[in-house]
Structure 1
Amino acid sequence: MKRTFSALLVCASLLVVGPPAVAVAPSSAPSEASDLVPGLPRESARPAASPDGAQRPHIEYVPRSEVVPHGLRAAACSRTTGPYQRQTERYLRRDVDGRQSQGDCRAIRRFQQAHRIAPATGFAGPVTGAMVRLMRAKKDPNRAGHCPDRAERTACVDLNRQLMWVQQNGRVIFDPVTIRSGAPTMETRTGMYRIYLRHRRHISNLYHTAMPYAQFFDRGEALHGVYEDIFSGPGSHGCVNLTMTDARRVWDVLKKGDIVYVWGRKPGV
């Protein structure tokens, strides 16, 4: 499906918010990620980084029966096995059996609270799984060697893990951060590119959507910040979305002419 250049300049997210429910139902079978909904209601899922700099939680996706109605009361500890149960158990050095237990839940809740994931019910959903991937990548993000080792600054965009970092001469100069790449039918294109345009306060010319700290690298696709939660919605219109904090930081690292290398495929695309 062809996209016009102007359409590519718009890379805002497509939010998906489901209706809340109230009961917490136990389940021994792992939940499917496609069946999950935001764990807090619409009024709680406000932008993660507002213009005044206030930080808000990352909203986890949970079974409909485990949505916290108003985000005001303490949520019960989930007895449901999440789709990222094994990965989370392994990272937290729990017994890796892929089944939720009270001990698992307490450990996962502590991890969620430490990383601003809400509701912190211990359900190992996609946001918790993404945070586990990020933390595991911190030590050596290019361990698999997918991103080329060059003397030039290279922004490494890993669609498989939804991560980005910058390296130069075999050394990481900007630690890995979470990204949000293109949604289905609007996948971020893979390949090696160079940043050809930078605009700190860019506004898309089609939808008039803000693209702060935009660094364009391929026919309208850019690295840029978003005000909403980086984990919300199915993805961008092709751009590589970053949190506002990360977009601001990487703006100071990259320059026009630097390399952007993109590989892999977004899970579920």
Structure 2
Amino acid sequence: MRRVRDGSRTGRARAAAAAAVGVVLLAALTTGCKATPTGPAAPPGAAASAPDDAKPSGSAGVPSPSATPPASPSARPSPRPRTLMSVGDRSRRVRELQARLRQIGHFDRSPTGYYGTATAASVRSFQGKRELPRTGRTDTVTWRRLLAMTRKPTAKELDPPAVKPVARPDARCMTGRVLCISKNSRTLSWMIDGRVVSAMDVRFGSQYTPTREGTFSVYWKSRHHVSTLYDTPMPYAMFFSGGQAVHYSSDFAARGYSGASHGCVNVRDEGKIASLFAQVKNGDKVVVYW
């Protein structure tokens, strides 16, 4: 009987041991299905961190060295000067520009109101002396500087009788309505009964195309005339001898006496000849003399 009991005890012990081994094997199979991270295990209680490429490049409140800082208002470029007047312009403002330049010795002729090469050269001279860009154009900076250095021109400065002194009138000019034109003084005087109403600078034809001398009369007026021979504008033309006329010349306004006409009497002040054109009538006398 004792042996039987011992055998049963042994059987029960072996059964218990087998059961324990089964529990261990079951636990091992269960844990083997769980994914294991490839990196080292984080310490207990440590918060999971984002991968490196998800982290901001700089710490909180501190910009990254590669970040571009915003442009400050003071670093913005100032606006470029705006052009107010340039070659080819005609206006009272151009006349004022010329009068102001003449006040300080940068323009050596009577204001014409036409912005030609002579005016551009005068503006460049002014700009160069004030260390401004020598463009020859009158921009906002140049104009403000000129205004600060000069005074408002008088009516006589804006519309002088003529740059050159008016010549003593020829005896033929002393009666009636006469365009009295002196080659010697290079002036035209508009006279009525011996009184000079207005005067202006003029230039004549070259030695190859001279302006005729003598007594004539205006036989045709053409406000917007264009030469059929030279295809050039002859505004405010007043014809007195064949194809020769008194008319405005933008070339004269721009270049002065460095040029010449093809026989006509050129006037460089457009405002003055416009006024003269309105007063002169067909039949009025024209006297051209030395």
More helix by proportion, 1 or 2?
2
Q: Report the TM-score, using the length of structure 2 for normalisation.
A: 0.46
**Which protein is bigger by CA-based radius of gyration?**
2
Q: Which has the higher contact order (CA 8 A, sep 6+)?
A: 1
TM-score w.r.t. length of structure 1: 0.50
